[in-house]
Structure 1
Amino acid sequence: MSESKKRILILGVGNILYTDEGFGVRVAEELDQQYEFSPNVEVLDGGTLGLKLMGPIMDADYLIVVDIVLNEGQPGDLFRLLGQDLSKACAFKNSMHQTDLLDTLAQCSLVGTVPDDIVLYGVEPVNYQDLSAALSPELEARLPEVMDAVLAEVERAGGSFRPRTELNPAMEKIYVPRDTSRNS
């Protein structure tokens, strides 16, 4: 398979009802709203779906996951994790979905296949326990940087994108908008 034909999945995971826990989903939403991607790129709000994500993951050649991670950094720190670092960062028990992601990848490996390349863009959270549709101000401020990192990863993997305009608007509706009133 040629590099330009790799099937690329951008997977934002998390729970948007628990402050920074929803960061990955918010990145996926913003990418989908602001950019149109080449046919080999799919952007997916994985929420907390766990094993229900097996199909899309097994269909991908290149998986880009966006999430929060507890990686002993400062709040807002961005990490690009691969291999064992990815496993270590996802193995914490304080999240409603992180161990599900590792279990899902393990199940994909057992029953089918996992993508050749898996990259996790993780941001150290400030607050992932309070019930709120708002991100912390620190993570809200990191959205553009993380989006740029994901877009650069898409290009490295052989995908492309262009900004949306009125001629190519986003078709997905965001049903639980981010509350940004706390961040102004």
Structure 2
Amino acid sequence: MKTLILGVGNPILTDDAVGICVANEIKKLSLPNVEVIETSLAGISLLDYVVGYERLIIIDSIKTEKEAPGTLYKLKLEDIGNSATPSYSHGINIRTAIELGRKLGYKIPKIIEIYAIEIKDNTTFGEECSPAVKSKIPGIVDEITKIIKSDSPPS
């Protein structure tokens, strides 16, 4: 199954970079039929990346302050609100962008998984995640990699 892993975040805002960091570690594993892209883009800008894949895995940060930093949430596209900012056409989330892409006839992946990692700090400038989040990255990489391998058809 042709899979795209999209690591999303800002590489200079401490914990906000965790999606990119996890994606980078998965990229080092050179998994078959898996392409990894790290990006700071969001919303409709992601459509160009996702077209043509059968499966899309998005890895990003989330700040709920309900769980410990480094907690991994598995979400569905439906879990994300459907919104657009009327005064700014680019201000749409990934769910809205995917739905728009489908309506426009883009070949959007049928399988979309979202992994959100609880963070503590997304406002401090820095090129490394906080120690609390950084220490969880290897376990998150292992967990996501196992899911990818278990869901992949045998070669």
- 1:25 is the counterpart of 2:20: yes
* Residues 65-144 of structure 1 mapped to structure 2, 5 A cutoff: 65-71=58-64, 72-85=66-79, 87-88=80-81, 99-111=92-104, 112-144=106-138
* Residues 41-80 of structure 1 mapped to structure 2, 5 A cutoff: 41-48=34-41, 50-71=43-64, 72-80=66-74
Give 1:100 deviation, angstroms.
4.0
- Cα RMSD of the aligned pairs, angstroms, is 2.4
Matches of 1:148 and 1:141, distance apart in 2: 13
Q: 1:10 aligns with which of 2, 5, 13?
A: 5
Matches of 1:7 and 1:21, distance apart in 2: 27
Give 1:107 deviation, angstroms.
2.7
Give 1:104 deviation, angstroms.
2.8
Matches of 1:134 and 1:110, distance apart in 2: 39
Give 1:157 deviation, angstroms.
3.0
Share of identical aligned residues, percent?
24
Question: What residue identity is the alignment partner of 1:62?
Answer: R
**Equivalent pair of 1:63/1:118 in contact (CA under 8 Å):** yes
Q: Which runs of 5+ in 2 are unaligned?
A: 84-90
1:159/1:135 CA distance change after superposition, 3 Å: farther
Q: Which runs of 5+ in 1 are unaligned?
A: 1-5, 92-97, 161-184
**Equivalent pair of 1:9/1:64 in contact (CA under 8 Å):** yes
Matches of 1:139 and 1:99, distance apart in 2: 27
Number of matched pairs: 145
Q: TM-score, normalised by structure 1?
A: 0.69
Q: TM-score, normalised by structure 2?
A: 0.81
